[in-house]
């Protein structure tokens, strides 16, 4: 059932990430995949909208996912404009040496393509169900998505303003939502994907589609967040910030 559902989307994603990889070879920077990440979800949503029957829950998921994808990709595009390749990709480029091209394709583009497919699992299975009404869980999902989207948008804006105006690289962003959470943008990201799962919730497919929010939650908690904190944890100011601030939840630490 899963293979039948995602075989065509998987082909589309493979073509998409391969095109992104070819562009990265021309640009000589792999962080274009960060910009392409949100656009990949937009591509899937447009495919389903034009080539599959569209139910009310799936239409709502398409609109919200496209809105999220546009905002995220634009935010990253502006953030990276005029800057060198992101430190994560630059360090991998140096580490991989002569194997940088094949390893980039496998470990950045194909891997992120696979993750994209998993995270979009609620979208895949909603697209094949012709449902034209919303349940209370679907409405709850919309509310949760809105909360997550607002938190992610505000925290990204706060961080961007901080980076533009800070006087030294040792300063720590601790204003606004960042006063309460070390990663409010990640918290918002996880939240909105759990909302997407609930918007498309159907009892018969819930155990399959929950792979989506679980995947993004796992990536953020065990990969993205540790990678960012590892880079800064030696700084005394950041050590103090780590001690006094929640990891994700935007709540005042007692």
| 211-228 residue pLDDT tens | 999 999 999 999 999 988
Domain with 118 in it: 1-133
- The per-residue pLDDT for range 61-73, each reduced to its tens digit, is 999 999 999 999 9
Examine the fold and report which residue of 99, 133, 167 is the final residue of a domain before the chain moves on: 133
Q: For 176-182, what is the mean pLDDT?
A: 95
Give yes or no: residues 127 and 46 share one domain. yes
Task: Tell me, letter by letter, the H, E, C secondary structure of 195-232.
Answer: HHHHHCCCCCCHHHHCHHHHHHHHHHHHHHHHHHHHHH
Domain count for the chain: 2
State yes or no: pLDDT of 129 exceeds 70: no
Give yes or no: residues 226 and 153 share one domain. yes
CA nearest neighbour of 101 among 28, 15, 11, 16: 28
CA atoms within 13 A on the CB side of 135: 10
Give yes or no: residues 138 and 113 share one domain. no
Examine the fold and report which residue of 115, 133, 151 is the final residue of a domain before the chain moves on: 133
**Which pair of tokens denotes residue 148?**
């997550």
State yes or no: pLDDT of 128 exceeds 70: no
- pLDDT interval class at 3 (50, 70, 90): low
Give yes or no: residues 29 and 109 share one domain. yes
Judge contact between 244 and 253, C-beta under 8 A.
yes
Give yes or no: residues 151 and 129 share one domain. no
Examine the fold and report which residue of 95, 117, 133 is the final residue of a domain before the chain moves on: 133
State yes or no: pLDDT of 204 exceeds 90: no
Q: Where are the alpha helices (DSSP H) in 52-135?
A: 56-80, 87-96, 100-104, 111-119, 121-127
Give yes or no: residues 205 and 220 share one domain. yes
Q: For 202-208, what is the mean pLDDT?
A: 87
Whole-number pLDDT of residue 73: 98
Give yes or no: residues 127 and 160 share one domain. no
Give yes or no: residues 152 and 251 share one domain. yes
Give yes or no: residues 238 and 143 share one domain. yes
Separation of CA 184 from chain center: 13
Q: How large a percentage of the chain has pLDDT more than 70?
A: 96
Give yes or no: residues 179 and 154 share one domain. yes
- The per-residue pLDDT for range 131-177, each reduced to its tens digit, is 677 899 999 999 999 999 999 999 999 999 999 988 887 789 999 99
Give yes or no: residues 99 and 214 share one domain. no
Task: Enter the pTM of the model.
Answer: 0.94
């Amino acid at each position: 059932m899963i293979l039948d559902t995602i075989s065509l989307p998987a082909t589309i994603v493979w073509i998409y990430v391969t095109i992104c990889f070819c562009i990265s070879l021309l640009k000589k920077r792999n962080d274009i995949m960060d910009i392409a990440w949100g656009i990949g979800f937009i591509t899937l949503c447009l495919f389903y909208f034009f080539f599959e029957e569209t139910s009310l829950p799936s239409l709502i998921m398409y609109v919200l996912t496209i809105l999220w994808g546009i905002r995220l990709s634009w935010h990253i595009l502006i953030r990276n404009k005029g800057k060198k390749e992101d430190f994560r990709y630059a360090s991998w480029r140096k580490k991989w040496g002569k194997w940088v091209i094949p390893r980039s394709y496998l470990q950045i583009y194909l891997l992120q393509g696979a993750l994209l497919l998993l995270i979009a699992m609620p979208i895949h299975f909603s697209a094949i169900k012709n449902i034209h009404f919303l349940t209370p869980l679907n409405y709850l999902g919309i509310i949760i998505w809105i909360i997550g989207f607002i938190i992610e948008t505000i925290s990204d804006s706060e961080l961007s303003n901080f980076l533009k105006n800070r006087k030294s690289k040792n300063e720590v962003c601790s204003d606004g939502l960042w006063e309460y959470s070390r990663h409010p943008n990640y918290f918002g990201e996880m939240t909105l994907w759990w909302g997407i799962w609930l918007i498309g919730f159907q009892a018969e497919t819930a155990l399959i589609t929950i792979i989506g929010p679980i995947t993004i939650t796992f990536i953020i908690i065990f990969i993205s967040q540790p990678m960012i904190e590892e880079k800064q944890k030696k700084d005394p100011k950041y050590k103090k910030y780590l001690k006094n601030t929640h990891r994700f939840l935007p709540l005042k630490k007692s």
